[in-house]
Amino acid sequence: MSDARFGSLLEGLPAHPQPDEILTTLAALPGTRIERIVSTGQSSPDGFWYDQAWDEFVLLVAGAATLQVEGEGDRMLTPGDWALLPARTRHRVAATTASEPTVWLAVHVGEPAGEPG
């Protein structure tokens, strides 16, 4: 019997804005975590920057977002756009759409066990 798992990144999306992002771990493998993030208008708090000790690959699946990378300014992301954020790359989410869910696929590589983003 196979251990294969299947799903849809667009299944079960909220119909209305939520108070917080919805994070769902899709797979946790040694040193790698794959998650779906659903944003409904959320952004990083003022002055907050992610500064992770691991690499992160993000793909915007639906909606729209503005990603800020320190020293590089704002980058508007639309469906199909992706970013590779090497470890220690300071970044933040400046905005996400509130009129529809913004769906991200995030792959965290080299993440220490027990230290999710």
Average pLDDT, the chain: 94
Give the C-alpha separation, 62 to 103, whole Å: 5
Is the predicted pLDDT of residue 13 greater than 60, yes or no? yes
Cα–Cα nearest to 52, from 83, 80, 88: 88
> Residues 62-96: pLDDT tens digits?
999 999 999 998 999 999 999 999 999 999 999 99
Domain 22-109 fold:
Jelly Rolls (2.60.120)
Alpha carbon 30 to its chain's center = 19
